[in-house]
Amino acid sequence: MTEPVPVNLSELTTLRVGGAPTQLVAPPDEAGLIAAALEAWAGDEPWALVGGGSNTVAADAGFDGVVILVRTRGIERLDPVPESATDDDLDGRPVRIRVQAGEPWDELVAHTVANGWAGIEALSGIPGTSGAAPVQNIGAYGQELSSSLAAIDFLDYESGEVERLSAADLRLDYRTSVLKQGRRGVVLAIELELRDMTPQAEVLGTPLSRPVGYPQLAQALGVQVGDRVPLTDLRQSVLGLRAGKGMVLDAADPDTYSAGSFFTNPIVTESFARTLPTDAPRWKQAEVELPDRVIPLDEYAGVGPVPGSQVLRTVKLSAAWLIENAGIHRGFRLPGSRAAISSKHTLAITNTGGATADEIGQLARFVQQRVQSDFGVILQPEPVFVGFSLL
């Protein structure tokens, strides 16, 4: 189970930076993953999880602790989900699957599309493992994991017990969850509820996707937002769009040596957004209720209306627009640096060859400073940092 050291984290991450950890373990199955985590937690050394390494920035000096590689595999179809009165063949029928945390995400999507199961097809091409997906509620092209996630099996750090957490327990939001906000542990498996669209094939000749929810994707498919298309067509279109942005891993293309989108799209109040240029893209978000006084945690569970609260209207901004309009263009790099903004997508920071984590960090901080100086917005990084910080 223990792999030879030194194995640099640069060999295990898509950004290709990072030194060797003190110890590296790769459990072959779920029981081994539980045992490895409990053993690591029983010691005094720091620990970290690495799945596909696609959303990770590791320090050049390595990691002074235990790195657990999540490599467990398996997709299991569960007992049929009871159908509701609204279920019909044209909208598909519910199907539930349990997926081991180490299952590569895009291979999972390919498996569901091949079986005629809809719900995550627009998430094609996203690198990484299935267990990492709920941590930041992955999303793309009008779909988010939250629309299909039923539950996860989770080894909790505090209790040392395996718990089943529902999607509601995870408090999934835009690129975040309780797992990203401080609840520590290991995702062992995820449970998805999808729609079995194979009954449609008897009527329409092919299983159809969920309604297309993103204008750029609809345009690429030649349809309107809200239309449905063959599952395989939607997957191929998404893969094409992502490849055009350097967001599909390609060993021959250094633009794909990245951690994906390095910054999340900021969510700000509607009143703040009015201070930005009128051509700055913005999308309305759900209204948020905030208390107008400090409420002790033992009095407020964060559920339901709060007496004396005020409603804030929020909007989501385009991080890519902010970066570009702060004067940072595609292909930009600091003098002498081997880290660069992708030549295809402003949100990605790439390793052009031999870049260090420090060079990645320098460029990321420069982007943050320029955007904050020009627009008053502090961009938040999306990747997980292992022995590394932008502060």
Q: Are residues 84 and 62 in the same domain?
A: no
- Of 33, 49, 69, the residue that ends a domain is 69
Tell me, what's the pLDDT at 99?
98
For residue 191, what is the domain's CATH number? 3.30.465.10
308 pLDDT tier (thresholds 50, 70, 90): low
Q: Are residues 152 and 102 in the same domain?
A: yes
Of 3-12, 231-240, 375-384, which gets the smallest average pLDDT?
3-12
Q: Are residues 42 and 82 in the same domain?
A: no
Annotated active-site residue 184? The verdict is: no
Set 71, 96, 175, 282: catalytic member: 175
List all residues 6 or more positions away from 168 whose beta carbon is below 8 Å from its beta carbon.
none
Residue 141 lies in a domain: yes
34 burial level (CB within 10 Å; 0-12, 13-18, 19+):
middle
Strand order across the 314-317 sheet = 267-269, 314-317, 282-284
DSSP 8: -
Residue 373 lies in a domain: no
Does 157 have pLDDT greater than 50? yes
Residue 47 lies in a domain: yes
Residue 228 lies in a domain: yes
Q: Please state the rounded mean pLDDT for residues 140-165.
A: 97
Does 120 have pLDDT greater than 90? yes
Residue 195 lies in a domain: yes
Q: Which domain holds residue 290?
A: 267-317
Q: Are residues 162 and 282 in the same domain?
A: no
Set 261, 338, 342, 359: catalytic member: 261
Tell me, what's the pLDDT at 288?
64
Residue 179 lies in a domain: yes
For residue 65, what is the domain's CATH number? 3.30.43.10
Residue 222 lies in a domain: yes
d(CA 220, CA 329): 25
How many domains are there within the chain?
A: 3
Cβ atoms within 10 Å of 148's Cβ, excluding its own: 24
CB of 236 within 8 A of CB of 332?
Answer: no
Task: Kindly report the backbone phi and psi dihedral angles of residue 139, in degrees, each rounded to the nearest multiple of 5, phi listed first.
Answer: -160, 155
Set 121, 144, 191, 382: catalytic member: 382
Does 325 have pLDDT greater than 60? yes
Q: Are residues 101 and 230 in the same domain?
A: yes
Tell me, what's the pLDDT at 290?
54
Tell me, what's the pLDDT at 298?
43
List all residues 6 or more positions away from 31 whose beta carbon is below 8 Å from its beta carbon.
none
302 pLDDT tier (thresholds 50, 70, 90): very low
d(CA 356, CA 373): 26
pLDDT tens, residue by residue, 14-58:
999 999 999 999 999 999 999 999 999 999 899 999 999 999 999
0.75 surpassed by pTM: yes
- Of 45, 69, 93, the residue that ends a domain is 69
DSSP 89: G
Q: Please state the rounded mean pLDDT for residues 66-76.
A: 97
Does 309 have pLDDT greater than 70? no
> How much of the chain, in percent, has pLDDT values that exceed 70?
90
Angle between helices 105-114 and 231-244 (to 10 degrees): 150
Coarse DSSP helix, strand, coil percentages of the chain, rounded to the nearest 5 percent: 25, 25, 50
Residue 86 lies in a domain: yes
Higher pLDDT, 125 or 254: 125
Annotated active-site residue 261? The verdict is: yes
DSSP states of 15-33: T-----EEEEE--SSHHHH
Q: Are residues 109 and 41 in the same domain?
A: no
Tell me, what's the pLDDT at 92?
86
Q: Are residues 146 and 83 in the same domain?
A: yes
Mean pLDDT over the full length of the chain:
90
